[in-house]
Amino acid sequence: MLKVQNLTKIYGTQKAVNNISFEAKAGEIVGFLGPNGAGKSTTMKIATCYLTATSGSIEVCGFDVQRNSIEVRQNIGYLPEHNPLYLDMYVREFLEFIGGIYGLKGQHLQKRISDVIELFGLTLEHKKKIGQLSKGYRQRVGLAQALIHDPKVLILDEPTTGLDPNQLAEIRQIIRNIGKEKSVIFSTHILQEVEAICNRVVIINHGIIVKDCPINELKQVGKTMEDVFRELTV
């Protein structure tokens, strides 16, 4: 569903992403793990058509992000690290606006809005302005807008930042359920998040992939996963 091939992004003299390749298939949640500044967000911005690659390619559902950017956007849902919400809009109004951008209309649009409101536990909040919501509920609105058009690929950049333990458990379960049918790329620098949610892990450091394996293969005899992660990201 998402295929990254020999991707490189250079800013001046710095290689933010250095010739990386990996895939995410349908029904798979891939943890894109690495320290801050490793190249995670740059890769995601290229995959979602916000940035252009210096070289290499990314395909989403068979569509190239540079040659077929409209088709890529139609098949992808994206929640950036800094959740871009219109704080003066009401929750339902905002979801109608985003759905309209994706070409949803009439009863189909209203059904999708109702579905994501229920899925993300926004029933009691949907008549409030987004600016009145807590951080946790704003994250839910961000996830709802990413899923409003029922995309095949979901890209989430640090989606659990700032959530309290109860909100964290709920959002983790929702993402696990979504990942049963869709390709999900879950970016984080927190190892526990990957352990709790993901099937596979891709570890990136200094723009280079240093590990790509099923999550259980990251465990080594006599070492904690934290030890392995530190060794890979020094």
Q: pLDDT tens-digit profile of 59-95?
A: 999 999 999 999 999 999 999 888 889 999 999 999 9
**Residues with Cβ < 8 Å from 158, sequence gap 6 or more?**
81, 187, 188, 189
Domain count, the chain: 1
* CATH number of the domain that residue 73 is part of: 3.40.50.300
Q: How far apart are the C-alpha atoms of 21 and 6, rounded to whole Å? A: 5
Task: Give the mean pLDDT of the chain.
Answer: 90
Q: How far apart are the C-alpha atoms of 151 and 207, rounded to whole Å? A: 27
CA 61 from chain centre, in angstroms, equals: 16
Mean pLDDT of the 43-50 span: 93
Domain assignment present for 103: no
| pLDDT score at 15 | 92
Domain assignment present for 185: yes
Domain assignment present for 56: yes
Neighbours of 173 (CB within 10 A): 12
Burial 99-123 (b: 16+ CB within 10 A, else e): beebebeeeebeebbeebbeebbbe
| pLDDT score at 105 | 95
Identify the band that residue 58 occupies on the pLDDT scale cut at 50, 70 and 90: very high
| pLDDT score at 133 | 93
Asked if the model's pLDDT at residue 223 lies above 80, the reply is no
Identify the band that residue 161 occupies on the pLDDT scale cut at 50, 70 and 90: confident
Domain assignment present for 139: no
Q: How far apart are the C-alpha atoms of 20 and 122, rounded to whole Å? A: 38
Instruction: For residue 174, give the amino acid letter.
Output: I
Domain assignment present for 67: yes
Identify the band that residue 229 occupies on the pLDDT scale cut at 50, 70 and 90: confident
Tokens for 149, please give them. Answer: 């058009």
Q: pLDDT tens-digit profile of 179-220?
A: 888 999 988 877 888 888 898 999 999 999 999 988 888 776
Which range (123-132, 158-167, 209-218) has the least confidence?
158-167
Domain assignment present for 186: yes
Domain assignment present for 93: no
Cα radius of gyration (the chain): 18
| pLDDT score at 194 | 85
Domain assignment present for 94: no
List the domain range (segments joined by +) for residue 62.
Answer: 2-86+154-232
**Quick one: what percent of the chain has pLDDT higher than 90?**
62
| pLDDT score at 220 | 66
Identify the band that residue 221 occupies on the pLDDT scale cut at 50, 70 and 90: low
| pLDDT score at 222 | 58
Asked if the model's pLDDT at residue 53 lies above 80, the reply is yes
Whole-angstrom CA distances from 210 to 54, 136, 191, 195, 227 are 21, 32, 15, 18, 15
**Quick one: what percent of the chain has pLDDT higher than 70?**
97
Q: How far apart are the C-alpha atoms of 53 and 178, rounded to whole Å? A: 29
Identify the band that residue 34 occupies on the pLDDT scale cut at 50, 70 and 90: confident
